[in-house]
């Protein structure tokens, strides 16, 4: 139980990543696959935040005297997450755009039926 309590955030993050990977690998519906990509991204963002997180920590700004710098949350992972979110939005938007075009061509979103090329 102690292990679970200490690592609950990591377990959550990797749980999300694995759910996403499962969806990408096993689902037939293109929209569900794209949602799976979203899951992976969310899991990664949570994981990155966790690396720099300190319980009851403060923002890394010296606003008043007497703040211990060891109690400050690492800002770098948060900057990484900000960048990663922007990239993920671009990828998901592009994926949905392609899904619309694919639907126009094939009239289906079932990837097992979209076989113009060899899948």
Partner 1 sequence: MVMNPVFLIVVPLGLAFFTPIIGLLSKKFTKYVPVIAMLFNLILSISFLPKVIDNPIVVTLAGWKPPFCINLFVGPVGIIFSILISLIGFLVAIYGINYIKTPESQGSSKQEKYHILYLLLLTGATGIVLTGDIFNLFVFFEILCISSYVLVAYNQDKNGIEAATKYLIQGSVGSAFILIGIGFLYGLFGTLNMADIAQKIGDVNSPTLFIAMALFITGFGIESAMFPLNAWLPDAHSSAPSSISAILSGIAIHIGIYAIFRILYTLFGVNSVFTFLAIMGIITLLIGEMSAFKQENIKRVLAYSSMGQIGLIIFALSIGTVNGVSAGLFQIVTHTISKALLFLCVGYMIYYTKSMELSSLKGLGKRMPLTSFLFTIGAFSLIGLPPFIGFPSKLSIIFAGLKTSDPLFLILIILLLCATVIEGAYFFKIIQLLYFKKSEKKDHIKPPFTLFLPAIILAILIIFIGLYPGFISSILNKSAAEFVDKFFYIKTVFGV
Q: Which residues bind partner 1 (CB under 8 A)?
A: 17, 21, 24, 30, 33, 37, 40-41, 44, 47-48, 51, 74, 76-77, 80, 83-84, 87, 90-91, 94-95, 98-99, 101-102, 105-106, 114, 116-119
Residue 23 and residue 35 in contact, taking contact as beta carbons nearer than 8 Å = yes
Decide whether 21 or 67 has the Cβ nearer to partner 1. 21
| CA dihedral for 75, 81, 83, 85, sign (positive or negative) | negative
DSSP 30-49: HHHHHHHHHHHHHHHHHHHH
By beta-carbon proximity to partner 1, the closer residue of 58 and 103 is 103
Cα 57 → chain centroid? 23
Q: Residue 30 CB, nearest distance to partner 1 (Å)?
A: 7
Measured from the CB of residue 59, what is the shortest distance to partner 1 in angstroms? 18
Rank residues 59 and 98 by Cβ distance to partner 1 and give the closer one: 98
Instruction: At 109, list the tokens.
Output: 């979103």
């Amino acid at each position: 139980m102690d292990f679970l309590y200490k690592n609950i955030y990591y377990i959550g993050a990797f749980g999300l990543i694995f759910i996403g990977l499962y969806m990408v690998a096993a689902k037939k519906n293109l929209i569900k696959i794209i949602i799976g990509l979203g899951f992976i991204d969310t899991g990664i963002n949570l994981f990155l935040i966790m690396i720099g997180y300190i319980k009851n920590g403060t923002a890394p700004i010296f606003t008043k005297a007497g703040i211990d710098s060891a109690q400050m949350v690492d800002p770098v992972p948060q900057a990484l997450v900000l960048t990663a979110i922007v990239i993920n939005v671009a990828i998901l938007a592009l994926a949905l755009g392609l899904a619309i075009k694919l639907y126009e061509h094939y009239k289906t979103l079932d990837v097992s039926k979209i076989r113009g090329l060899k899948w």
